[in-house]
A and B are shown apart, each in its own frame.
Chain A
Amino acid sequence: MQPVIELDHLEVRFGERIILKKLNGTLTGRAIGLLGPNGAGKSTLINTLLGFHQPFAGTARIFGKDIRTEAKSVRGLIGYMPENDSFIANMTGVHFVRLMAELAGLPAEQAMERAHEAFFWVGLGEARYRQLGTYSLGMKQMAKLAQAIAHGPKLLFLDEPTNGLDPPARARMIQLIQEIRDRGELSLILSSHLLRDVDECCDEVLILKDGRIAASCNLEEERRANRKFLELETRGANGTFTAAIERLGCEAAAFPNGRMKLVMPDGVEIRQLYALAAEQNVQIRRLNHKRDSLEDIFLKAMEAPDGGL
């Protein structure tokens, strides 16, 4: 499968400061998460890939095209949803997205059709004839998404897409992103501080720290590897329950409020836990396989000494 992004000793400097330090790597996922603490270089990386900064040394390739020599061609394949507000206040929604689509190369009639389609698809159908300056924050975010996809890019950059959105709007945005990912014949790169956003949308993550790649891993594989780790929330359990579980062969750790974490060895089944619960009249109110793998991966990456990959 053709790699989406290849980083080739990419180095970016602002004057004396080195922001991105010889990044090397290949990203092939359909949805790639970009994580990292503030100042790690995420925005700089995105801006460099978009051609807003020139690399000091090295280069990168998007779908095989070099960003230094074929910058314009690269940008023809990209859709960008910036983190900050980005609109023209006295234009109507549709007018704005039309303009942006035409600038991306679409003929005028196609641009018109797709602008309307994009607005309906993000849920702003009713508001598309209103001026962008009158939109609420959530609507502006959706309009930003509309302009990023109207021209049918092959690679979508989403920078903090759920920024400032209230919970229903955030859920809608995540749903839209998942839909694009599944059906849109494109790859996307999602940069966010909210691990949950990345967890729900991405299958590969790239973690930056101090301008270097601190970790790069495949979430799908991690999720599959977590089958053995269980988390329980119980009511009515006491030490006897924990002891009984341990006698089965599991490693168990009990926490306040009835929470427990278990590691189940091969051969032990969940049904056996239920047998114990039935015996001791314990309610198992919650049971799930460990879900916060991304958090662990992230924290581990942050603790690793510099330059670890």
Chain B
Amino acid sequence: MPEPRIVFENVSRFYGEVLGVNRVNLSIPPGITSLVGPNGSGKTTLMNLMAGLIRPSRGSIQVLGVPPGRPEELFRKMGYCTQFDAFPKGLTGYQFIYSFLLVHGMLESEADKLTREALERVSMTQAADRLVAAYSKGMRQRIKLAQAIAHRPRVLVLDEPLNGLDPMARAETIALFRQWGEEGRHVIVSSHILHEVDRISDQVILLSHGYVVAEGEIQGVRSEVKDQPMQVLVRCDKPAVLAARLFERDNVVEAKVSNDGKGLLVGTRDADSLYLLLNRIVLDNGLEIEAVAPADDDVNSVYQYLIGSEGGNA
């Protein structure tokens, strides 16, 4: 049986004249997928389209075979966590989750069990009987998450889920995502914190001005960006010597000594041979290496190349 996917086929969405997303084509496999892009690039629009909260102006969407136009079916399989901080008034944390579960049509005992599990998962069992209005920001975030996962959905659409969480809660939540990804669920997360995105995602979707600019595994995406040579940063004591040797061997296309004179940023079209070359050069010339790092093999750099620093709306 083919892998279940979330499919967008030529989807566009306009708000009156304002562009949300334009001509999006995606096929999202299970695992953790991160949506990355500046504010206003269409991340929330994309998530709302997936969840059926808005209809596309054009094109069609299928989530594991279910079109979002059928919410009764869709929301059995999907959990949604919005980025906005709003709750029905007068509910406690427990009631918030429990009442939404009842809407699914479960028996009360079942709903109670699932609510307690969800609360346990996000470590909110103790505070469950206090009003949501009295929670701190991090606690509200966790309750939102609990509500999204309570009915054990196969697809999780989470809009900036780590916002406001302290470092421990972040680590725990990330561990949770990893677990779900490994279980074969679809976890769609949008985030601005690129080094976290790097660490946890199986694939990334980059958005800019409503267009999908890149999608896939991050290394794969990087190697597709052909017009930029791979950047590697080498911190050592004699960068000039290193540069000279590298140029002799015809591997690098550019080299730049850093401001403090102790580092060299090289651009190469063949990273594998570069590293093997580096081994020899270090030994032959007695270089003291302090650090080596690919300077652009991560989401941050791909972001820079494809979206740039002025990519967002001002």
Contact = CB atoms under 8 A, between A and B. Distances in A.
A and B touch in the complex (CB under 8 A): yes
B283 A37 contact: no
A38 B293 contact: no
Interface stretch (A62-70, A73-81, A190-198, A238-246): A190-198
B269 to A, nearest CB: 16
Interface in A257-309: 269-271, 274-275, 277-278, 281-289, 295, 298-299, 302
A168 B310 contact: yes
Contacts of B310: 168
B261 interface: no
Contact of A37 (B166, B192, B287, B312): B166
B275 A285 contact: yes
A2 interface: no
A38 B138 contact: yes
B313 A136 contact: yes
Interface in A223-240: 235
Contact of B279 (A172, A278, A288): A278
B309 interface: yes
B272 A283 contact: yes
B292 interface: yes
Interface stretch (A3-11, A107-115, A159-167): A159-167
B170 interface: yes
Given A285-B292, A299-B168, A167 B194 contact: yes
A138 interface: yes
Contact of B167 (A39, A127, A193, A235): A193
Contacts of B314: 127, 136, 139
Contacts of A235: 272, 275
B280 A165 contact: no
A217 to B, nearest CB: 16
Contact of A274 (B193, B279, B300): B279
Interface string B270-297: 0110011011101100111111111000
A36 interface: yes
A137, A172, A269, A285 pick with most chain B CB within 10 angstroms: A285
Interface string A120-160: 00000001000000001111000000000000000000000
Contact of B136 (A38, A163, A166, A277): A38
Contacts of B309: 168, 171-172
A284 B283 contact: no
B291 A287 contact: yes
B37 interface: yes
Q: Interface size bucket, A side?
A: 35 or more
A40, A172, A196 pick with most chain B CB within 10 angstroms: A196
B289 A287 contact: yes
A278 B280 contact: yes
A200 B72 CA distance: 47
Interface in B32-79: 36-40
A284 B167 contact: no
A278 B193 CA distance: 36
B153 interface: no
Contacts of B94: none
Contacts of A13: none
Contacts of B278: 274, 284
B195 interface: yes
A286 B294 contact: yes
A67 B271 CA distance: 58
A167 B303 contact: yes
Contacts of B39: 136-138, 164, 166
B205 to A, nearest CB: 15
Contacts of B291: 287-289
Given A136-B39, A271-B283, A286-B294, A164 B289 contact: no
Given A193-B170, A195-B167, A168 B311 contact: yes
Interface of A: 35-40, 127, 136-139, 163-172, 193-196, 235, 269-271, 274-275, 277-278, 281-289, 295, 298-299, 302
The 4 A-B residue pairs with the shortest CB-CB distance, nearest first, are A38-B138, A283-B275, A278-B279, A168-B309
28 contacts: A35-B167, A36-B166, A37-B169, A38-B138, A38-B164, A38-B169, A127-B314, A136-B39, A136-B40, A136-B313, A138-B312, A164-B192, A166-B312, A168-B38, A168-B311, A170-B192, A194-B167, A196-B195, A271-B282, A271-B289, A278-B279, A278-B283, A284-B275, A285-B271, A285-B292, A287-B289, A287-B292, A288-B291
Given A284-B278, A298-B167, 9 more contacts: A37-B138, A38-B137, A38-B164, A166-B38, A168-B309, A196-B193, A278-B280, A283-B272, A286-B294
